Amino acid sequence: MVKLVIRMATINDVPSIVNVSLASTAKEEKQGFATPELGTYSSSEELRKAWAEENRLKDGSEVIVAEKNSKIVGFIIFKMEYDYCYIDNIAIPRDEQRKGIGRTLVTHVENIAKVNGYSLMKTDTTENAEGIPWKSYGFWTKIGYEDTGERLTTKWDFKTIPFVKNLK
């Protein structure tokens, strides 16, 4: 069994993080679920601009990667807010999905949150114009996150679905 190494990311990981992001979903799969413009995690140049220091983005978010055989096979972006910890992004290449990497990354971040005194985790996914949730919906519910029941309108053709998890 191959062991995952979970560690804080560095700016040197930017190309691998972008590759993981691009390999996590097919472009056509994202239509109706994501912003149409190029995202921060889809361009090494944009991600480098967002980087502030070793493992932190300029907005205060932290970046953690999962490695298998010295190759980055996933990442998670999170931020500790005033009274909760928020997972902003998680990506695993399609050929590595359903192998426990995402769960391992989320559990790692939840443990960081607990050690820092947080008891509430938040994240979100999206729902397209037809009311169909993005494929991560099942992942979040399976690992104990609860759909708040809210559907937040965006300026695009999708809505945001907030999730919460109590860590106590």
Does 97 map to a domain? Answer: yes
Mean pLDDT rounded to a whole number for the chain: 90
Three-class DSSP labels, 9-72: CCHHHHHHHHHHHHHHCCHHHHCCCCCCCCCHHHCHHHHHHHEEECCEECCCCEEEEEEECCEE
Given pLDDT bands bounded at 50, 70 and 90, which one contains residue 44?
confident
Given pLDDT bands bounded at 50, 70 and 90, which one contains residue 34?
confident
Does 164 map to a domain? Answer: no
Give mean pLDDT, residues 48-58: 74
Does 139 map to a domain? Answer: no
Does 74 map to a domain? Answer: yes
Does 102 map to a domain? Answer: yes
Domain that holds residue 35: 4-123
Does 52 map to a domain? Answer: yes
Does 144 map to a domain? Answer: no
pLDDT at residue 143 tops 70: yes
Q: How many domains does the chain have?
A: 1
Kindly compute the dihedral angle of the four CA atoms of residues 77, 144, 124, 137, in this order, to the nearest 10 degrees: 110
Does 68 map to a domain? Answer: yes
Give the CATH number of the domain where residue 63 resides: 3.40.630.30
